[in-house]
Amino acid sequence: MKKMKKWVGLGLVLAMTAGFTGCTNNSATSSESTSDSTSTTKETESTQSSESTETIKIAVAAPMTGDTAEYGIGFTNAAQLMADEWNANGGVLGQQIEIVPYDDKNSSEEAATIAQKIVSEGDIVGVIGHFSSGVCLTAAPIYQQNQIIEISPSASHPDYSLVGDYIFRNNTVIKSEAAASIDIATQDLGKKNIGIISIKTDWGTNTSQVIKDLVEQLGSDVKVVAHEEVVEGSDDYSPAITKLNEAGADVVICAGMYNLVAPVAKQYKQINPDIQIVGFSNAYSQQLIELGGDSVEGVCFPVIFFSESQDEKIKTYVDAFTKAYGTAPSALSSQAYDSVGMLLTAIEQAGTTDSQQVRKFLADLGYDGVTGYTKFDENGDVQKDFIKVTIKDGTFVKMD
């Protein structure tokens, strides 16, 4: 009995220490990041104030480190490019524009802290971000409550824009994108037996459900033969692939980012070289080709923005982006680029940075950007045309 008490006591002590270290870790990192960003903003403030008046601040909140860092850094770069263009023409309302990046590590906990921080900052006009739908859904209510405009260049979960009237997105809802993916699978590739492999996140589960519903509505002899959910970040997808293959799938729709599509393509083609793989626009990234190599040849997906386009406006933008950052912009980065443009245009039209006024003008804005013509509907959603893209000889090309 005595011995048992000792063990229970030891267990409790361990649990407490674990809890404490957890807490201290968190607060330490968050206070670190806070002090970091405040010091940088203070620095820039002091340098700015010596030459001109205050700046107009736009936050970019997205993952800057970790597995999805590529997207967050793309957002920041694109936002900075747009801000630089405006600044070169005298800024907006006679003030210079400043992009303030925040790293949410693509985690909901981190995003909530950052949203609170942005709110308490007090002088941030709008937020471009966050990246994944689940993270957006945590942060959006905080922005809505405090009347700060959030435009996500990437969220596609239907619930996101329903959070409130300050919440916008410059990305299509998943339903229209899923329809485009199914269209590629059934019309362009002419396949009938669809397999779905999706990541087990809010977005992934919802997307796979949307795909199933849409296929059912099609009604013809097209059907979903199997659906497998996988944990994001595991390396071994062979059990799921074996099941899809046994079910007789001849096309697989991959609901995940490049870090799912590339390994799935590799492992699937080892057992069935003829499989066709269709992805979503969030797989459109140079990393997909680097990671997937030969296996991702022929992978297709719908995108809103295609950097190889011959359009004059897109070409100048792509050239400017490539010159500044060394790589061509991805679709989502370009959506971030347009998001900043829309926010700035709305501020200019409103003639003030008061978020109530800006929101009104933003909601009525029709913006002709590099990702097509954008007009928000009553929810803050957009409709856009899709371009079908595939990978051929190691580069992204338009499907014909």
Partner 1 sequence: MIGQQIFNGLTLGMAYALIAVGYSLVFGILRLVNFSHGSVYAFGAHAALLFVGMKLGIFPAILMSLIFTGVLGILIDKTALEPLRKKKSMPIASLITTIGISNIIQNMLTATFGSQKKAFPALFDFGVISVGKLQISWTQICMCIISLMLMLVLVLLVHKTKIGLAMRACEQNPKAASMMGINVNFIISFTFFLGGVSAAIAGALISGYYQIVYPNMGYMAGLKAFAAAVLGGIGSLPGALIGGLLVGVSESMAATFLGSTYRDCMAFIILIIVLIVRPNGLFGKKGITKV
Q: Smallest distance from the beta carbon of 288 to partner 1, in angstroms?
A: 11
Which ranges in the chain belong to alpha helices (H)? 2-51, 69-88, 108-121, 133-145, 174-183, 202-218, 238-246, 258-271, 286-292, 312-325, 331-350, 355-364
Residue 236 touches partner 1, criterion: CB under 8 A: yes
259 binds partner 1 (CB under 8 A): yes
Which one of residues 239, 248, 351, 394 is an interface residue with partner 1 (CB under 8 A)? 239
What's the min distance (Å) between Cβ of 20 and partner 1?
17
**27 touches partner 1 (CB under 8 A):** no
Instruction: Give the interface segment with partner 1, choosing from 2-10, 203-211, 289-297, 308-316 (CB under 8 A).
Output: 289-297
* 234 lines the binding site for partner 1 (CB under 8 A): yes
Work out whether 25 is an interface residue with partner 1 (CB under 8 A). no
Closest CA to 54 of 92, 88, 101: 92
Q: Is 231 in the site for partner 1 (CB under 8 A)?
A: yes
285 binds partner 1 (CB under 8 A): no
Strand-strand pairing, 193-199 and 167-169: unpaired
334 binds partner 1 (CB under 8 A): no
Residues 302-321 that bind partner 1 (CB under 8 A): none
Q: Which of these ranges, 52-60, 167-175, 241-249, 366-374, lies near partner 1 under the rule CB under 8 A? A: 241-249
Binders of partner 1 among residues 203 to 222 (CB under 8 A) are none
Q: Per CB under 8 A, does 331 bind partner 1?
A: no
CB of 261 to partner 1, least distance (A): 12
Are 249 and 272 a contacting pair, CB within 8 Å? no
C-alpha–C-alpha distance, residues 337 and 76, integer Å: 9
Q: Using the rule CB under 8 A, is 61 a contact of partner 1?
A: no
Nearest to 179 by CA among 306, 264, 248, 281: 281
Does residue 112 belong to the site contacting partner 1 (CB under 8 A)?
no
Residues 167-206, mask of contacts with partner 1 (x by CB under 8 A): ---------------------------------x------
Among 144, 147, 242, 349, binds partner 1 (CB under 8 A): 242
- Residue 72 engages partner 1 in binding (rule: CB under 8 A): no
69 binds partner 1 per the rule CB under 8 A: yes
Q: Cβ-count burial of 53 within 10 angstroms (0-12 exposed, 13-18 middle, 19+ buried)?
A: exposed
Question: What are the contacts of 344-350 at 24+ separation with CB within 8 A?
Answer: 344/58, 344/82, 344/83, 344/86, 344/92, 344/97, 347/56, 347/92, 347/93, 347/125, 348/92, 348/93
DSSP labels, 115-184 = HHHHHHH--EEEEEE-SSHHHHHHHHHHHHHTT-EEEESS---TTGGGG-TTEEESSB-HHHHHHHHHHI
Instruction: List C-alpha distances in Å: 58 to 92, 96, 237, 344.
Output: 12, 11, 40, 9
The residue within the footprint of partner 1, chosen from 270, 316, 356, 383 (CB under 8 A), is: 270
What is the contact surface with partner 1 in residues (CB under 8 A)? 65-67, 69-70, 200, 228-231, 234-236, 238-240, 242-243, 246, 259, 262-263, 266-267, 270-272, 287, 290-293
